[in-house]
Structure 1
Amino acid sequence: MELQIVHFIRTVLLIQICLLWSGQCLSLHFTNQQPIYVIKGHSLILQVQLDLQDGERVAKVTWDYKANNSAKILTVAEFPGRVSNGRVTVDQQGSTLKIRDYHPADSGIYTVTVTNQSGQRRSEQQVVQEYLAVNHVSVMVNVSHCTLHCMEAWGTEPTFTWLHEQAAVTEEVGRVSADGTSLYISSSCCGHFTCVVSNKLGHSSGTYTAEPCERKNKATTAVVVCSLLMLLLVTSLVFLLWRRHRYQSNRRERLIEPYEDTL
Structure 2
Amino acid sequence: MSLKWNTCSILAMCVHIVQGLSVHFKNPHPFYVALGRELVLEASIEKTLPVEKIFMVAWECNTASGSRRLATWQSDAGKTQEARISIENGGTTLKISGVQESDFGRYTITVTDQDGTQTLTEKEVSKSEKPPEASVELRCDVSGERAHWDSPVVTWLIDGVEVTNQTANVSDGGSRLHLQEVTGHNYTCISNSSLGTSVAQFIIPDSSEFNKAGSLCDAAKAAIVLWVVLVIALIVIGIFYLKRKNDKGRYNSAPS
TM-score (norm 2): 0.46
Question: Which is greater in Rg?
Answer: 1
TM-score (norm 1): 0.45
